[in-house]
Amino acid sequence: MEHELMLTGIGGQSVQLAAQILARACVLDDRQVTYLGTYGGTMRGGNTDATLIVSDRPVSAPPMVSELAGALAMHHQFFEPLREKLRDDAVVVINESLFEGEAAPGGQRVFAIPATQVATELGSALAASMVLVAAYACITELARLDSLVAGMREAIPSYRRQHLESNEKALRMGFENAPAGAASVWSAGGAR
Amino acid sequence: MEHELMLTGIGGQSVQLAAQILARACVLDDRQVTYLGTYGGTMRGGNTDATLIVSDRPVSAPPMVSELAGALAMHHQFFEPLREKLRDDAVVVINESLFEGEAAPGGQRVFAIPATQVATELGSALAASMVLVAAYACITELARLDSLVAGMREAIPSYRRQHLESNEKALRMGFENAPAGAASVWSAGGAR
Amino acid sequence: MTRSLLMGSEALAEASVLAGCRFFAGYPMTPFTELLENFAVKLPGAGGVCINAESEIEAVGMAWGASSTGARAATGSTGQGLALMQEALSEITRAELPLVVFNMARGQGDYYQATRGGGHGDYRHVVLAPADLPEATDLIQLAFDLADRWRNPVLLYGDYLLAHTHEAVDIQPLDFEPLPGKDWALDGSLGGSGRSRSVNPLGMEKGSKRIDPEGLWKRLQAKHEEIERREVRSQSEFTEDADVVVVAFGSVARTVRHVVAKLREEGRRVGYVRPITLWPFPLAAVAEAAQGARQVAVLEQNAGQMIDDVRIAVAGSAPVRAIGGISTDPSSFGIGSLLEPANVRERILCALEDREIPR
Amino acid sequence: MTRSLLMGSEALAEASVLAGCRFFAGYPMTPFTELLENFAVKLPGAGGVCINAESEIEAVGMAWGASSTGARAATGSTGQGLALMQEALSEITRAELPLVVFNMARGQGDYYQATRGGGHGDYRHVVLAPADLPEATDLIQLAFDLADRWRNPVLLYGDYLLAHTHEAVDIQPLDFEPLPGKDWALDGSLGGSGRSRSVNPLGMEKGSKRIDPEGLWKRLQAKHEEIERREVRSQSEFTEDADVVVVAFGSVARTVRHVVAKLREEGRRVGYVRPITLWPFPLAAVAEAAQGARQVAVLEQNAGQMIDDVRIAVAGSAPVRAIGGISTDPSSFGIGSLLEPANVRERILCALEDREIPR
Amino acid sequence: MTGIETRGTVRIDIERCKGCELCIPACPPNVLRMSSTRNEIGVLFPELLPGCTGCSACALVCPDFCFDVYRYETPLHHEATA
Amino acid sequence: MTGIETRGTVRIDIERCKGCELCIPACPPNVLRMSSTRNEIGVLFPELLPGCTGCSACALVCPDFCFDVYRYETPLHHEATA
Amino acid sequence: MSEPRVLSTDAAPDEAARVIEPARPKLLRGEDHDLCPGCGEPLAVRVLLEAIEALACEQRSIAVMGIGCYTALSTLIDVDSVQALHGRAPSLATGVKRMRPDSLVFTLQGDGDMASEGLQEVIHTAARGESVTCVMLNNGVFGETGGHMTATTVLGQRTKNTLEGRDASYHGHPIGMAEMLAPLGGSAYVARAAVYDARSVTAARRMLQRAFESQLAGEGFSFVEILTMCPTGWFIPTAEGPGYLDEVLGSVHGVGELKVRGELHEHPTEPEN
Amino acid sequence: MSEPRVLSTDAAPDEAARVIEPARPKLLRGEDHDLCPGCGEPLAVRVLLEAIEALACEQRSIAVMGIGCYTALSTLIDVDSVQALHGRAPSLATGVKRMRPDSLVFTLQGDGDMASEGLQEVIHTAARGESVTCVMLNNGVFGETGGHMTATTVLGQRTKNTLEGRDASYHGHPIGMAEMLAPLGGSAYVARAAVYDARSVTAARRMLQRAFESQLAGEGFSFVEILTMCPTGWFIPTAEGPGYLDEVLGSVHGVGELKVRGELHEHPTEPEN
Ligand SMILES: Cc1ncc(C[n+]2csc(CCOP(=O)(O)OP(=O)(O)O)c2C)c(N)n1
Ligand SMILES: Cc1ncc(C[n+]2csc(CCOP(=O)(O)OP(=O)(O)O)c2C)c(N)n1
Ligand code: SF4
Ligand code: SF4
Ligand code: SF4
Ligand code: SF4
Ligand code: SF4
Ligand code: SF4
Ligand SMILES: [Mg+2]
Ligand SMILES: [Mg+2]
């Protein structure tokens, strides 16, 4: 089983952080993982993507994928390139609070999570990506909540220590309010 | 007729100047000329050579010669490489005032000119190379005295104008006291 | 060590320190920046030094100085910063100093730079081109060994993918043959003895005015010919009965390997040769693979550079065709669509089916 | 003009000014120094500017700026100084600016640098390699024309012999096809109009955030392929029935030409091909000359660089053999014994008689 | 006349605003405050309260060039609250 | 005692001398002068007259390291002329 | 408590009013840019363009762009421009000016670009007395590559590799560019500005204008350093940028005119208008 | 008139005498060199080696050589040395020192090398407070390549391309290296010496020794500039070299200590011994 997913958002590091947390969580759950973050253009404030491949065998594919088994979108801007790569059976998790328009025209399974709203209510709009990634992990059963929290603690750089608490809360909120296993990638139904 | 000669001396620019004067004189006399000066090593004060090819047709040979029809030596130091290239019938003109040892073991025609002494008597030891080159031109009939003087006037850089007089005197002394045509390169005897 | 998720840059710095690297200097440039950051974090703890140099030219100078004392030293940049280092890199080669140089390149357009250099005169660097991170953490250890063994710079050709991809890796120290001592390394101790040391790229020797650059350069040439005989590395798969042999290196080869394996599963007669050393180039391996092939297809992410070496290797025994091309993203960091499996697959199919390559 | 004894450097500067060069910047280095000196003397009188730059990097930057205003500009150095310019040279190529670059090289060890560069990414310079001064004064005029025509740097590969040899030359202005106007040249006049100009190597355009380096690079690639088709130049003699075809360029070719002519007089079946453009390399001329030859002998004054291109051209149709080698003097200025007729003759005879080359 | 004197006003291109808040303390009469709703890219943006003097400070410090500043020919008078 | 007091002396490696004349004005008692004959490479070189003090000035300014400087345990006395 | 009244700001006012400050000066094109929220660089670019307008040099200016975050702004600048390599703008400007002596030629560079990578370019250009204006946007970090320390980072400043503040014993000392350039024989006008509030922005515009005037008068080399916020590279909230600039950078890199018409000022002050 | 008596000087004296000054210090090897007659560079090298001896650092010194005429002297210097590229010695010295913190590490560079080609190297090294000593032999010309003007050539000085003297309006202004380096935070000792007569040569030795002492004491970066004659590049007779140095170069590049133990001296003077 090799699960390729991408995350996308506008600027900032939060999408990359979310991707890294998911990657670390998968490693903690003993999977093989390849993760690559990319930033659009030489400029700041442009789009930012992350590609993740999670597998139970050594990963052979490069972290530049042509087809996606899953996608996470913080915002509709810059989602287009991801949409084009979605497989028919892909899992798509979007940030309902900001995302406008159609996420998946091909009949893919779409889950809309009010991530920014949830995060704002928790007092930290920046943690929206935590909510979303936790929801994704929960829906797809890609990683456990404990691993996500542990992964987050590994991933936060020293100069951002003040965010540990709020991030953990956001991860928990995201995970606990999502439809667990609704599109598991490991189960017969979700896997390919 | 293609006449290849080399000039050699220690440091300084006087050997190069002499070579350039001869080259210019030959051009004024309507010959084809190729002339290359080289300095030994990255250092100052080392040896300095000049190679000249004078011809009555366009010069085909590169200014790096394997065989010499003529040689001029200001000093015995650094003469060895030239000696090795001398043809059997080469003309060798040496500065008797400084040159020690045997100039031409192969029976070549050697002319010893007390160049430094003559120049010192003229009040400018630095003009020794002028004496020598003029002697060479006279012996080989490679260039006329007038052309040498004109060539010297072309060749002297602006910041050395004060030497014009003494150089002209040295050229005249050198030319007039040498055995004219003793080894002419243009005559049947001297040419090849 | 145990398996942990490391960014490529972090793993490379880690493996370098493990290999005994004790000096690093660099200047930020994407995608090299994180390598510098990681050396800055890891070296002090290992008794080493990392300097955030004020420019690439100063960085390579510092590494040169460090290496002249016998320390295992490294520097790097992306191709653009390496362009600035060319004078130093060719001169360091003539000074016969070991040095490891990272090119975290933006794509594969620096193949010429890596294998032919832009420095002056004749000089060569061993160039290692890992396809993925686990291989890279081995090759970087090899790089430090080869640099010392041959007293010659060794370049690791990486890219954005290698530098920025996180993978769960387990870095193991490698064993190498014992090395000769560094009796040439400067420590000042022989001053005044008449035998003081000199690290010199010009052919100058203490106590003698005579300079013999020709002798020095010929000695280097002989060494480089020896390296050509001894240090060639490559990987070939499925070439025996292949109609089409694909030649690719680095990150592109990673995709090629992935795609060719799938195509073989589908029964297509395709194989690949992956040069691991770009210099010395695996001429023999490519020549052998070309025997009997209908076509040799070169897939590189540039306007056509390695294809020169492939042509030299194949020497007319099969047609050589370029199926790669320039491919980058708007940042020009080198992460173009050519790195994606679908595009690589399509290009290889074009070669197999004698179709035009999409431009 | 009438025939007068000029040092190569003086003649080159003279011919450049005749060709409309109005800007030069350089930093002294043997054997390039005199070229700089001569531009400094000649340009002011012609309404131009010559700057004694404080380094080679600054020199190429100044020339870049001058060229961006549409002026015919040039710079240069020896290979070592050019090593420092590599970053700029590759970027100027991407900015599509005309520029003439002199390499008054120390020997022929900079062939790779000239033809493959050490800059980053894919880029190409037209490289002209005159064999003697009369040819050089023509080729330098061609260089300024080609640079403007293709909006691409053109490099003149000279050496100590070309720079320092005095010959009696008669520089004649050449005529070229009319050139398109330089509507891209900066003069400030369109500021505020919404159509201000931009000379940009990154694919950036005024008024748009979108950057398309891939598009730019592909456009360049297409241009370079066009140059490869249109601008190849070479000279061949005595190749039809030759047993041995010698390939040589620049000053070495001057000696080869001299020696081969003598050998032909002696009835030896030897011919030569002399690439005048090193890039684009005369692949077809070499391939054609190789047909029927028993051997293609490459005589270059280095460890073997042009031989790559010869091998690519010959593509296995005849054995290719190196008969040149590293050859320099103690100064390393590149005036080694390989430039002498006797040595060249001996090496060609070795090829004709299948003997070992003296090393 | 009653209410707050408003000698000038601004046009704010809130879609370009990146929410940096530099304009807020820059305003001498303190008539700018951050919104409670978010714009397209998800950030808060400045709102104008009565009392603008048309001094241009906001425009000078806004890195995203969001402000056109105007001065009224005749000052307006606004109630302080809505 | 008669004659010039000579407290020191020098050894001059005239074959290394390049004739630059820097040592001549450097000598405080003015006891160096250039020769009238030439050395191997054709240049004039310094000669020592009586009266050297062993002050080392010549050695310090000679670019070709031609001078060893000595100071006599007991000063000598020389006639000024030969 | 009742809510304060929020005025409509989505269009020009209906009432009679004149524009005091347009969002964009004439030479700044209408597109948006991708620099970070709270970045100081766009402020500096704005006043630079306004200074050109004030001198009516719209149709004779040529910009030479360095490489840093501000590079992205070059597409917004409606004057002819040539993109230099990182660190090399002063040499390009030299070549441009020599071939276009009647143009107003200036560079736009960052501190990483000018004081780190290409330090000698600007010094040689200044010593040569080249008639160009070099402008350095100084935020004390390589903004573009992620906020590392540069050669101007002041002691105590936070950057990616000095998260606890630059420490002289480990990271060395900052270089004061204006102080280094002012004593040189070839420099005619040298000043340091900042853009952290409206007053300083206005002063920056004045200094740029005076530098350009100096160039147009043929006095020699001119230089304006402008301190700019980089909240991203300083790892602080955007709103704290201006205060951090003033207190941390400003305390070392003092604002004012250091040299005017070739005369050194002993106590640099901001120009009167 | 009778001829003055010429004493024999071809051997050590027969009389009892002690050596005051050997032709060569211990660290200077016995071979001859090919520098021009009247060149000042060998004088500087001599005192540099004597300073090392005076500090008993013979067995812990590492030289980093620049490229210029003095490069040829590196074969005479009996201390470990590494040859740098033209302009790049300070960076090499940095790398050497970091790996050999107990060594006395110094560069030997010319003015063309340090102030032209590689100007930023020494400035960055100084600002960084690198514990090395940079020595610049300043003759105001590229001696090695034929005597062209450098970035330190003083106004009025003759060089190959300023035969009538350097003219500021055409050739720009000289850079005073010592003056530029002294104000930097990382520099601890900065001085300018000259070698045109016995007194100045002795003072040069003292300054070199004090620079090395500063390095050994870990005070930071140290710098000694030494004015040297280049009769060849100045196009004057060798005997006129010392006077030309003193009057032309010395009048602009004033001799003395500019900074000692990190303290700037307002009026640079030569050190007492
Ligand atoms: C030769 C070279 N080295 C490194 C880089 C990478 N680089 C791009 S921008 C930049 C930093 C720019 O810093 P600064 O000039 O201060 O501008 P800022 O980003 O702060 O505006 C660097 C290091 C480059 N483009 N070229
Ligand atoms: C990159 C580079 N450019 C140019 C040169 C040529 N070059 C060698 S020495 C020299 C001048 C040295 O001048 P300086 O440093 O003042 O030393 P000096 O010869 O005066 O002792 C130059 C330009 C070089 N070696 N390398
Ligand atoms: S113009 Fe002045 S008063 Fe009006 S909002 Fe802007 S800063 Fe405030
Ligand atoms: S200064 Fe500009 S970008 Fe920042 S909050 Fe105010 S309007 Fe928005
Ligand atoms: S030691 Fe002093 S007195 Fe004696 S010769 Fe030398 S300079 Fe003159
Ligand atoms: S200083 Fe030395 S080289 Fe010069 S003349 Fe005197 S002894 Fe000779
Ligand atoms: S990183 Fe700093 S300088 Fe760059 S755009 Fe962001 S705030 Fe501005
Ligand atoms: S050229 Fe000048 S610096 Fe070089 S050796 Fe001669 S006198 Fe000395
Ligand atoms: Mg910056
Ligand atoms: Mg010098």
Q: What is the pLDDT of residues C100-133, one digit of tens each?
A: 999 999 999 999 999 998 888 899 999 999 999 9
Over the Cα atoms of chain C, what is R_g?
A: 21
d(C-alpha C48, C-alpha D255), whole Å: 54
Confidence of residue H1 (pLDDT cuts 50, 70, 90): low
Compare CB distances from H175 to G151, G174, G184 and report the shortest one's residue.
Answer: G184
> pLDDT tier at B13 (50, 70, 90 boundaries)?
low
CA dist D150 and D143 (Å) reads 11
Tens of pLDDT, residue by residue over D28-61, are 999 999 999 999 999 999 999 999 999 999 999 9
Decide if G183 is inside a domain.
yes
Protein residue closest via CA to atom 6 of ligand 8: H36
Q: What percentage of chain H has pLDDT greater than the value 70?
A: 99
Q: What is the band of A43 on the pLDDT scale with cuts at 50, 70, 90?
A: very low
Residue D209 located in a structural domain: no
Q: Are residues C21 and C139 in the same domain?
A: yes
Alpha-carbon gap, residue H201 to H203, rounded angstroms: 5
Q: Is the pLDDT of residue E55 over 60?
A: yes
Residue-wise pLDDT for C335-353, tens only, equals 999 999 999 999 999 999 9
Is the model's pLDDT at C20 over the cut of 90?
A: yes
H19: part of which helix (H) or strand (E)? Answer: strand H17-21
Q: Residue G43 C-alpha to ligand 4 middle, in angstroms?
A: 12
Atom of ligand 2 nearest to the CA of H66: 15
Residues of C in contact with D87 (CB under 8 A): 80-81, 83-84
Please work out whether the CB of residue H234 comes within 6 Å of at least one atom of ligand 2: no
ipTM topping 0.90: yes
- Show which subunits contact C, needing at least 3 CB pairs below 8 angstroms: A, B, D, G, H
pLDDT of residue C294: 97
- Nearest Cα neighbor of H123 from H227, H249, H265, H223 is H223
Whether chain G has a CB inside 8 Å of the CB on H168: the answer is: yes
Q: Per residue in A50-59, pLDDT tens? A: 999 999 888 9
Comparing CA positions, the residue from A131, A81, A116, A77 lying closest to residue A100 is: A77
Task: Give the residue on C whose Cα is nearest the Cα of G68.
Answer: C29
Residue G113: predicted pLDDT: 98
Q: Provide the domain count of chain C.
A: 2
CA angle (B127 as vertex; B123, B128 as ends), nearest 5? 105
Note the pLDDT of residue B12.
62
Cα→Cα distances E41→A116, D48, G230, Å: 12, 53, 21
pLDDT value at B159 more than 90: no
For the stretch H225-235, pLDDT in tens is 999 999 999 99
Whether residue C197 lies inside any domain: the answer is no
CA distance D101 to D56: 12
CB contact (8 A) between residue F18 and residue B75? no
Structural domain of residue G100, as residue ranges?
41-267
The closest alpha carbon to C320, from D134, D315, H40, F12, belongs to D315
Structural contact between residues D131 and D257, judged by C-beta atoms closer than 8 angstroms: yes
Q: What percent of chain D has pLDDT over 90?
A: 94
pLDDT band at H271 (very low <50, low <70, confident <90, very high): confident
Q: How far is F44 from chain B (nearest CA, A)?
A: 11
F23 lines ligand 6 (CB under 6 A): yes
H36 lines ligand 8 (CB under 6 A): yes
Same domain as D132, residue D15: yes
Q: What are the C-alpha distances in Å from C292 to residues C70, C295, H113? A: 48, 9, 58
Check CB contact under 8 Å for G145 and C37: no
For chain C, helix (H) and strand (E) counts, in that order, are 12, 15
SS (H, E, C) C206-266: CCECCCCHHHHHHHHHHHHHHHHHHCCCEEEECCCCCCEEEECCHHHHHHHHHHHHHHHHC
Q: What is the rounded CA–CA span in Å between residue H58 and residue H51?
A: 10
Q: Is C18 within a domain? A: yes
Residue type, D165: T
- For residue E39, the enclosing domain spans 20-69
- Percent of chain G with pLDDT strictly greater than 90: 92
Containing structural domain, residue D159: 4-169
- Pick the closest to residue H196 from F45, F19, F62 (CA basis): F62
Domain end residue (candidates: D169, D195, D211): D169
Ligand that comes closest to the CA of residue G227: 9
Q: In this model, does residue A125 exceed pLDDT 80?
A: no
Chain segment H144-162, per-residue pLDDT in tens: 999 999 999 999 999 998 8
The two tokens of residue C139 are 């090759």
Q: Are strands B2-10 and B32-39 parallel, antiparallel or unpaired?
A: unpaired
User: Percent of chain F having pLDDT more than 90?
Assistant: 82
CB pairs under 8 A between C and G: 27
Class of the A2-176 domain?
alpha beta
How many whole angstroms separate alpha carbon B130 and alpha carbon B151?
A: 12
Is there an atom of ligand 8 within 6 Å of H139 CB? yes
| Segments making up each domain of chain B, as ranges | 2-176
Low-confidence ranges of chain G (pLDDT < 50): none
**Share of chain A residues as helix, strand and coil, in percent rounded to the nearest 5:** 40, 25, 35
C-alpha closest to that of H233 among H135, H155, H150, H174? H150
Is E41 inside any structural domain? Answer: yes
Mutate to test the interface with F, among B96, B98, B121, B129 (most CBs of F within 10 A): B98
Residue B192 has pLDDT above 50, yes or no: no
Q: Find the CATH number of the domain harbouring H221.
A: 3.40.50.970
CA–CA distances in Å: residue E37 to residues A120, D155, E41, H44: 12, 61, 11, 74
F36 to chain B, closest Cα gap in Å: 12
Evaluated on CA atoms C137, C138, C140, C145, the torsion sign reads positive
Judge: E41–A125 Cβ closer than 8 Å, yes or no. Answer: no
Q: Which of D93, D120, D310 to mutate to test the interface with C (most CBs of C within 10 A)?
A: D120
Which residues from G are below 8 Å from C52, CB to CB?
Answer: 148-149, 161, 171
The number of beta carbons lying within 10 Å of the beta carbon of residue B132 is 33
- What is the rounded distance in angstroms from the CA atom of residue D139 to the CA atom of residue D149? 15
Run of H or E residues at H264 = strand H263-269
Rounded Cα distance between E8 and G17, Å, is: 8
CB contact under 8 A, D209 and A43: yes
| Number of domains into which chain E is organized | 1
Q: How confident is the model at residue B189 (pLDDT cuts 50, 70, 90)?
A: very low
Bridge partners for H106 per DSSP: H63, H133
Task: Quote the number of domains for chain G.
Answer: 1
- pLDDT at position A190, please? 38
H54-76 per-position pLDDT tens digit: 999 999 999 999 999 999 999 99
Output the CA B28–ligand 5 centroid distance in Å.
Answer: 54
Measured CA to CA, the distance from residue D164 to residue H157 in angstroms comes to 28
Give per-residue pLDDT as tens, B44-59.
556 788 999 999 888 9
Residue type at position H215: Q
Q: Which ligand is nearest to the CA of E26?
A: 3
Would you say residue G272 lies in a domain? no
pLDDT at residue H249, rounded to an integer: 97
pLDDT at A189: 41
Token digits of residue D264: 């032909």
Residue nearest to atom 26 of ligand 1 (CA): G86
Q: Does residue H152's CB lie within 6 angstroms of at least one atom of ligand 8? A: no
- The pLDDT value recorded for residue A192 is 36
Q: Residue D158: which CATH number?
A: 3.40.50.970
Rounded CA-CA distance G248/G196 in Å is 12
Using a threshold of 3 CB pairs under 8 A, tell whether chains C and A touch.
yes
G134 φ, ψ (degrees, to nearest 5): -105, 130
What distance in Å separates residue G10's CA from the closest CA in chain H? 51
Confidence of residue B191 (pLDDT cuts 50, 70, 90): very low
How many helices and strands, by DSSP H and E, does chain B display?
A: 6, 6
Could you give the CA distance from residue H103 to residue H96 in angstroms, rounded to a whole number?
A: 9
The pLDDT of D337-341, averaged and rounded, is 94
Count Cβ–Cβ pairs < 8 Å, chain B vs chain D.
71
Q: Does residue C174 form part of some domain?
A: no
Q: Which residue has the tokens 């002329």?
A: F81
Residues of C in contact with H85 (CB under 8 A): 61, 87-88, 91
Q: Is G69 helix (H, G, I), strand (E, B) or coil?
A: helix
d(CA H72, CA D34): 23
B139 membership: H or E segment, kind and range: helix B128-140
- Residue A46, pLDDT score: 63
| Nearest chain F CA: its distance from H102 CA (Å) | 31
What's the confidence (pLDDT) of residue A142? 95
| Whether pLDDT at D358 is above 90 | no
Taking CB atoms and an 8 Å limit, are F42 and B75 in contact across chains?
yes
Mean pLDDT across chain A: 87
Question: Where among C113, C134, C169 does a domain terminate?
Answer: C169
Find, among H44, H67, H182, H185, the residue nearest to H118 by Cα. Answer: H67
- HSE-CB for D229 with a 13 A CA cutoff: 5
Beta strands across the sheet bearing G104-110: D198-199, G80-83, G61-65, G104-110, G133-138, G221-227, G187-194, G256-260, G263-269
Q: Which atom of ligand 2 is nearest to the CA of H142?
A: 13
The whole-angstrom separation of Cα H106 and Cα E12 is: 60
Name the maximum alpha-carbon separation found in chain B.
43
CATH number of D273's domain: 3.40.50.920
Pocket lined around ligand 5, Cβ cut-off 6 Å: F 8, 10, 26-29, 31-32, 48, 52-58, 69
Chain centre distance of CA D80: 15
* pLDDT at site B187: 60
Pairing of strands H61-65, H187-194: unpaired
Cα distance from B15 to chain D (closest Cα, Å)? 15
Structure tokens at G93: 């400007």
| Boundary (domain end) residue, out of D149, D169, D189 | D169
> How many CB atoms sit inside 10 A of residue D287's CB?
18
* Interacting residues of H217 by C-beta distance below 8 A, sequence separation 6+: none
Which residues, including other chains, have CB under 8 Å from residue A83's CB and lie 6 or more apart? A71, A103, A104, A105
Write down the mean pLDDT value for chain D: 96
Nearest to H148 among D52, D55, D56 (CB): D52
Closest CA relative to residue D196, chosen from G88, C25, F52, G79:
G79
* Size (chain H), residues: 273
Identify the H or E element spanning C34.
helix C33-42
The partner residues of G18 in beta bridges, in order of sequence, read: E71
Which residue from E minimizes the CA distance to A46? E41
Q: What pLDDT does residue A78 have?
A: 82
G224 C-alpha to ligand 3 centroid (Å): 28
Q: What is the pLDDT of residue C50?
A: 98
Q: Are residues D8 and D135 in the same domain?
A: yes
**Digit-coded pLDDT (tens) for D246-288:** 999 999 999 999 999 999 999 999 999 999 999 999 999 999 9
Integer Cα distance of C175 and H239 in angstroms:
65
Domain-embedded: residue H20: no
As a whole number of angstroms, the distance between CA B164 and CA G205 comes to 61
Paired residues of C166 in beta bridges: A35, C7
Instruction: Output the 3-class SS for chain D.
Output: CCCEEEEHHHHHHHHHHHCCCCEEEECCCCCCHHHHHHHHHHCHHHCCEEEECCCHHHHHHHHHHHHHCCCCEEEEECHHHHHHHHHHHHHHHHCCCCEEEEEEECCCCCHHHHHHCCCCCCCCCEEECCCCHHHHHHHHHHHHHHHHHHCCEEEEEEEHHHHHCEEEECCCCCCCCCCCCCCCCCCCCCCCCCCCCEECCCCCECCECCCCHHHHHHHHHHHHHHHHHHCCCEEEECCCCCCEEEECCHHHHHHHHHHHHHHHHCCCCEEEEEECEEECCCHHHHHHHHCCCCEEEECCCCCCCHHHHHHHHHCCCCCEEECCCCCCCCCCCCCCHHHCHHHHHHHHHHHHCCCCCCC
Taking the C-alpha atoms of residue C257 and residue H106, their distance in angstroms, rounded to an integer, is: 52
